[in-house]
Chains A and B, each alone.
Chain A
Amino acid sequence: MSHDAHPYIGFEEYSERVPQSIPLAVQQATDRFVGGRAARVAELPQWEELRQIGSDIRLHTIENMDVYLTRLEEKVKLAGGHVHWAETAEDARRIVLQIAKAHNVKTAVKSKSMATEEIGLNHALGAAGIEALETDLGEYIIQLAGTGPSHIIVPAVHLKKEEIAALFSEKLDIHAPADPIELARIAREILREKFLDAGMGISGGNFLVAETGTLVMVTNEGNGRMCTTLPDLHVAVVGIDKVIPDWESLTVFLKLLARSATGQKLSTYTQFITGPRRAEGESGPKEFHLVLLDNGRSKVLKDPVGREVFKCIRCGACANVCPVYKNVGGFAYGWFISGPIGAILSPQMLGTQTARELPYASTLCGACADVCPVKIPIPTILRHLRRRVAQGDEFAGPTLPAPIRVTASIAAFALAQNRLYRFGTRLLPLLMSIFKRGDWIPNAPYPLNRWTKARPLPPFTAQFRGWWNVRSSKRKDSAR
């Protein structure tokens, strides 16, 4: 196995357990992002062209990933950094732990990183007696709450300020008011000391520029700079999919990313980190380690349709416009990346048995593909993964439950035999009339009982064919 065994992701079950407060909080926040994005996009007449260029570069990189990763490794080493290849999550955790132990690290400060969420790094560090402290405000909040992130760029998007205040009061044993500025001040005060104490800074990375071996970090709070410059040791854990060819490509992605994510022209901080500090007196850590995480990515790269998921630059715009995500929040997706991109990533990385419900967690409305800054054909990949779930793939047979497959087989048979279908069309209105109450069918039998859970079904009329025949024969008669 190239990944840790992950528990089954029961989207339906999880989505039904979502507290009412989550959709409301998520709706408010995402509406703000959607509005901001639209305004920034409208300012750029060449937006569609930029998306196409971004998509082309990412596709080219995916197809030549070995070339760019080799170049990246060479350049990072040339700049004095260390490069580690982690084939699995377990490998990545072990590498980071080894580095930490070698430097006798007691406390590590972290800037926001989805890759370390993916490998569950905090837990591993904690188990080894090393305190790992999240310093992004959102991540700090969810670390206190003991949950994972519910949005790619806004990890605590599901919580309202009142809930955060209650959480701070409880966990920090203080009286925290429900005021965002005050809450940020409290967190900053606690974190400032930790920054100065920490023996290691851990970060992720938004891009890896192969041309110069540069780690690019796009952030808004300033904590990322503290994490990567104050401690003498900086370890970056980054998925291999984050590599891009050169600085010219980077200009495209920097234009696309902040606009799509937060509706900013550019994020507050854009850091370029090329190796450790060169000389005493320069800022930056003494040692720089880059852990390149595979964790199943190479396997996904072999699927020519599915691999386009790795064009993703993690802006979260797809989630912000997704009506399913907005109604269930991020936790229903069961892994570190939620929303439409999570629905196409998790089944590929964790396997279609573990995440077989996720490709179906979409109405295929297509809103995500419309806003994706790198034109990932999300509905196409969802359909592709549904095929793998329904028909089986190279790793497993069909994982869709047998009753659904049998129903589909019966439907397919009846729909392909037009005489049978036409017979059914005459029969159904009679059968279903048993369930008719007034103008509606309020409670239909299986499998339509799940439809009528939420709204009644209109009655089966199915009289067009008869009407047409009568009409046609009348016309023939009158023509005679």
Chain B
Amino acid sequence: MSKAQLFLTCLGDQFYTSTLQNMTHILERLGVELVFPPEQTCCGQPLFNNGFEDKTRPVALNFMHAFSRSDAPIIGPSGSCVSMVKHHYPSLFKAGTAEHDLAVDIASRTFEFTEYLVNMLKVTDVGAVYPHKVTYHASCHYLREMGLRTEAKTLLNAVKGLEFVSLHEEETCCGFGGAFTVTFPEVSRSMMQNKVRDIISSGADTVVTCEPGCLMNVAGGLHTAGSSIRAMHIVDLLSSKEELA
């Protein structure tokens, strides 16, 4: 039986309780024994991406220590947070130090949820049923930093009843960008409105993404636009057992 550690991500922790519960259920159903290190907080990406590298280090150290009590893989429902750990943690510490060695070790066993399912567990069908028209927004860091181009679609493809419709400019940023939303709210808004416009014209009744940040942005944008389209995290869609019509 494989073992894994749950990486909540701070947005997941604060806003998406049911997504985290669903992730727990899916992984356990697939026979993964889960550990949850309660000392975890945030990966530090908001600080790192805004120029506070010095302030990121203690946050990263907290994360690394929280997850170093087990050598099991670390699974998180966000390509962006996972990319922070995987691609940027080692750069925070001087090569040759114990911290750097630990960062490299932690980085090597941190995986994004769909990446872990498809590439590590070799699972493509989690037995979900979701009889809806679904479109997909490719999140930037998931797509470009993590290089995950097929994993989400592979999983969606196996969902019973799901009809996939393509999204115009699928790979264009939704305008989230973390602190960008509060630094340049008007620019962020117009990027989000373009994304919402494309989602609406896709004809889907559900838009799915692998990123809590994009989800917050797009769901809020759809709500403001008065649209009834559901924005979902892929974890939640993959937990769906809706009846087939």
A: residues with CB less than 8 A from B are: 11-12, 15-16, 23, 323-324, 327-328, 359-367, 369-370, 383, 385-391, 400, 408-409, 411-412, 414-418, 421-422, 425, 428, 440, 447-448, 450-451, 453-465, 467-468
Contact = CB atoms under 8 A, between A and B. Distances in A.
B113 to A, nearest CB: 15
Contacts of B39: 418
Contacts of B183: 12, 360, 450
Contacts of A15: 184, 186-187
Interface stretch (B98-106, B151-159, B169-177, B236-244): B169-177
Interface in B179-213: 179-192, 194
Given A416-B41, A458-B219, A460-B15, A370 B144 contact: yes
A323 B191 contact: yes
Nearest to B179: A360
A87 B219 CA distance: 52
**Highest count of chain A CB atoms <10 Å: which of B39, B51, B219:** B51
A467 B24 CA distance: 11
B51 A387 contact: yes
A421 B39 CA distance: 9
Given A367-B173, A455-B217, A411 B140 contact: no
Interface of B is mostly: helix
Contacts of B220: 440, 454-458
Given A324-B191, A363-B173, A455 B184 contact: no
B50 A365 contact: no
A455 B221 contact: yes
B226 interface: no
Contact of B175 (A323, A386, A458, A461): A323
A323 B170 CA distance: 12
B42 A454 contact: no
Contacts of B72: none
B14 A428 contact: yes
B14 to A, nearest CB: 5
Given A324-B187, A428-B14, A464-B20, A383 B177 contact: no
17 contacts: A15-B186, A323-B194, A324-B187, A365-B172, A390-B50, A408-B50, A408-B55, A416-B58, A428-B14, A453-B186, A454-B221, A457-B216, A462-B13, A462-B14, A464-B17, A465-B13, A468-B36
Contact of B224 (A328, A361, A362, A456): A456
Nearest to A461: B17
B59 interface: yes
Given A362-B180, A415-B41, A457-B216, A425 B175 contact: no
A360 B184 contact: yes
Nearest to A460: B14
A433 to B, nearest CB: 13
A89 to B, nearest CB: 28
A280 B53 CA distance: 63
Given A12-B184, A15-B184, A415 B42 contact: yes
A323 B185 CA distance: 14
B219 A365 contact: no
A465 B175 contact: no
Contacts of A389: 51
B111 interface: no
A323 B172 contact: yes
A367 B171 CA distance: 9
A393 to B, nearest CB: 11
A461 B51 contact: no
A450 B184 CA distance: 9
Contacts of A359: 51
B31 to A, nearest CB: 16
Interface residues of B, number: 68
Given A15-B184, A451-B182, A366 B49 contact: no
A363 B50 contact: no
A416 B50 CA distance: 17
Contact of B181 (A23, A328, A454): A454
B112 to A, nearest CB: 16
A419 to B, nearest CB: 9
A364 B145 CA distance: 10
A208 B42 CA distance: 49
A454 B185 contact: yes
B48 interface: yes
Given A370-B144, A460-B15, A464-B21, 8 more contacts: A363-B140, A386-B49, A391-B54, A422-B41, A454-B189, A454-B224, A455-B192, A462-B15
A82 B47 CA distance: 51
A136 to B, nearest CB: 29
A458 B177 contact: no
B223 A456 contact: yes
B16 interface: yes
Nearest to B221: A455
A421 B58 CA distance: 13
Given A425-B13, A460-B14, A453 B189 contact: yes
Contacts of B221: 454-455
**Highest count of chain A CB atoms <10 Å: which of B66, B172, B185, B221:** B185
In the A-B complex, list the 4 residue pairs whose CB atoms are closest, starting with the nearest. Answer: A363-B177, A390-B51, A455-B220, A386-B51
Interface in B1-58: 8, 10, 12-18, 20-21, 24, 36, 38-42, 44, 46-56, 58
B173 A365 contact: yes
A367 B173 CA distance: 9
Contact of B190 (A23, A415, A416): A23
B68 interface: no
Contacts of B165: none
**Highest count of chain A CB atoms <10 Å: which of B53, B61, B187:** B187
Nearest to A448: B182
Interface string B135-150: 0000011001100000
Contacts of B179: 360
B43 to A, nearest CB: 9
A409 B173 contact: no
A365 B144 contact: yes
Given A366-B145, A391-B53, A408 B140 contact: no
Contacts of B175: 323, 363
A6 to B, nearest CB: 21
Contacts of B188: 363, 454
B64 to A, nearest CB: 12
